[in-house]
Amino acid sequence: MLFDKINYIYMSAGIAMVFIGFFGMWLESKGDGFFSLFISPLLVIGGFVVVAIGVLKSDEKVAEANPKTNTPQEQS
């Protein structure tokens, strides 16, 4: 699998935040509401950050199981 379960959870939560933010901007389409001017843009930006965290987060167990192989080898 490309991502673990936690990655998909983060990405799903981020996409939901982005949709809620855009829906809130559309809901108050007049442009002078508090939610559409202040809360919705923060939700959209936060959603994109959560999606990025979901993509970049790596599993610590996999990192420990596969140590880096670019260390110099001892000559016998």
pLDDT value of residue 20: 95
- The pair of three-digit structure tokens given for residue 62, joined into one six-digit string: 């996999």
pLDDT value of residue 72: 59
First-residue to last-residue Cα distance in the chain: 39
pLDDT value of residue 31: 67
Chain centre distance of CA 23: 19
pLDDT tens for the chain, residues 1 to 76: 788 899 999 999 999 999 999 999 898 876 678 888 899 999 999 999 999 999 998 877 655 666 665 555 666 5
pLDDT value of residue 62: 59
pLDDT value of residue 65: 62
